[in-house]
A and B are shown apart, each in its own frame.
Chain A
């Protein structure tokens, strides 16, 4: 149990377009989901905390209008990178918190390449 999926796993887009990444908890309910960004050979940096039914909380330095987060249900959160630019190219990882187990479970990540 405790599987988190991300879709797509890999996406290439043109500069100026928007890209949506989905994060789903497949076998548990997640009232809280987290979005991370990981640059090559670097650690994960928390971008935002997404709570079901409420606005996301963004970390300092993360543009909320650039990275739109929606957590519409207990099993789905989406991250939309708006007007993507090459510097947005990165590995985006979500995690979902299973409150019953007080543990986060991570998705496999989405590699975004902006041309």
Chain B
């Protein structure tokens, strides 16, 4: 069965500093990969996704992620964090076609990001 690991439960960064959130997955083949952000009282918002092709993916809000097949990782990065980036971040995987399985998502445990002024 597939699994997703986010090793860091909490990360605290200073505003303006860079941020990197780690995500490792266990899957038989390369799954579809996603990063979501959850702010208090709001639904999950997709930051970016990787299906195939260029392993460096650009997303919204200045985020990017790099897929590394050899490490089964899909780490999220942002060069300069803003106070509004304080939130919970989830990495997720879904089976690609042909299995697809309706693209059910399996989520990692989440990383809570705190931003210091």
Contact = CB atoms under 8 A, between A and B. Distances in A.
Is chain B found bound to chain A in the same assembly?
yes
Interface string A74-115: 000000000000000000010101000011111111000000
A114 to B, nearest CB: 21
A106 B44 contact: yes
Contacts of B28: none
Interface stretch (A14-22, A39-47, A61-69): A39-47
B106 A97 contact: no
A34 B110 contact: no
Nearest to B45: A106
Contacts of A34: 104-105
B38 to A, nearest CB: 9
Q: Is the interface of A mostly helix, strand, loop or mixed?
A: strand
Interface string B28-42: 000000001000011
How many B residues touch the partner, as a band?
Answer: 10 to 19
Contact of A42 (B42, B104, B105, B110): B110
Interface in B91-117: 102-110, 112
How many A residues touch the partner, as a band?
Answer: 20 to 34
Nearest to B106: A46
Contact of A4 (B36, B41, B43): B43
Contacts of A95: 44, 105
B10 to A, nearest CB: 10
B109 A93 contact: no
A32 interface: yes
A103 B49 contact: yes
B46 interface: yes
B74 interface: no
B88 to A, nearest CB: 9
A25 interface: no
B90 interface: yes
A44 B43 contact: no
